[in-house]
Every structure is written in structure tokens, then in C-alpha cells.
Amino acid sequence: MQGDHPESEAPGEAGSDDARKDYGQGFSWNEDDAGSLEDVVEAAFDYRGDVTILPRDGESLVGYLANRSIAGAAGGESWIEVFPSAGGPSRRIPLKSIRGLSFSGKDVASGKSWETWLEKYAERKEALTRGEEVENIDLFPEELD
């Protein structure tokens, strides 16, 4: 299991437990690594970016993991549902057909927390009080490709 965080902010800062700190952009898991695919899938479900799925057969799939079902002791099939980034309908993939999964896409939630905004807002307000020139800090949605 490896955790590589290309962005300056470390993932998992929002109060999640230590065990989940490595699940961030750049994280990847292969079946030879420690940990279970089920745990990685749970983290991927919370991840706000695309993931890359490596199947046992066929080509890898890049997309947003929007849903999952992990079968319990009662049995049934575990699966994930992915919206491919290339377009087309969502695809349901059985966990047993997956050999690896990586958090390959940009974490679009990164750096957009309420706390970050609060800090910027307070700094700007203080600067205004001191009579300093301030930059506009309005937030706008990112352009869609």
C-alpha cells in the first residue's frame, strides 16, 4: 500500500481517524498490498475525485465511484458502481473482478473547506480594518473542461 500526496494539503485532515489518513489523491492499492479491497472501496466512496480500477481481465477504467455494496456474512455479491470519466452509462463491477484501485483523479474537495474560507475571510476583514488594500476573495466554480 502506498500513499503519495501530490497536493500540498495532506488528505484526511477533516477529522477522520488515523487509519484513513493515507487515502488521498495518489493512493493506490494492489491485491498484493496489505489491507483489504473492501476498506479501499469504502474510502474511494468518500473520495471526491476519479479513481482508476484495474480489472483482472481487460482494460483499466477511470471514473467516479458513486456507490458500492459490500456483501456481509449473509452472502451476496460485492460490487462498485462507477461513472466513467469518458462518458457513457454507469458500470457495476463485481469486487472479485478487481485486482487494483487507485485514487488517480484530483480531489476536488481539497482546499475547499469551510475552515479555509473562514480563515481567509477573517484575514481580509482584519486587513480592511487596518486600512490595507485587500484582494477579492470571492469563490467561483471551476471551469468545466
Partner 1 sequence: MWAVASHVLKNKLTRKKRYPLVLMLEPLFRCNLACAGCGKIQYPGHILKQELTPEQCFSAVDECGAPIVSIPGGEPLMHSNIETIVEGLVARKKYVYLCTNAIVLKEKIDLFRPTKYLTFSVHMDGLEEEHDFAVCREGVYEDALEAIKLALDRGFRVTTNTTLFEGAEPGRVREFFDEMTELGVEGMMVSPGYSYSKAPDQGSFLHRDRTRGLFRRILSAPRKGWRFNQSPLFLEFLMGNEGRDYHCTPWGNPTYNLFGWQKPCYLLQEGYAETFDELMEATDWEQYGHERNDKCRDCMVHSGYEATAVDQTFGSLRGFLATVRATFLGYRWTEDREDEGSSGEAGGAGIVELPAVERTQVATCGSVRTETKA
**Rule CB under 8 A: which of 109-138 touch partner 1?**
109-118, 121, 136-138
Q: Are 3 and 26 in contact (CB under 8 A)?
A: yes
The dihedral sign for the CA sequence 2, 81, 72, 56: negative
| Nearest CA-CA partner of 56 in 83, 94, 84 | 94
Rounded-to-integer distance, Cα 122 and Cα 129, Å:
11
Q: Does 64 help bind partner 1 (rule: CB under 8 A)?
A: yes
Q: Does 60 help bind partner 1 (rule: CB under 8 A)?
A: no
Label residues 95-125 b or e (16+ Cβ within 10 Å = b): beebebbbbbbebeebeeeeeeeeeeeeeee
Single out the segment in contact with partner 1 by CB under 8 A; choices: 26-34, 79-87, 93-101, 127-135.
Answer: 79-87
Q: Does 142 help bind partner 1 (rule: CB under 8 A)?
A: yes
The distance of closest approach from Cβ of residue 91 to partner 1 in the complex, given in angstroms and rounded to an integer, is 13
Q: Does 50 help bind partner 1 (rule: CB under 8 A)?
A: yes
Per CB under 8 A, the list member of 6, 58, 75, 141 interacting with partner 1 is: 141
Residues that bind partner 1 (rule: CB under 8 A) add up to a total of 49
Q: Does 77 help bind partner 1 (rule: CB under 8 A)?
A: no
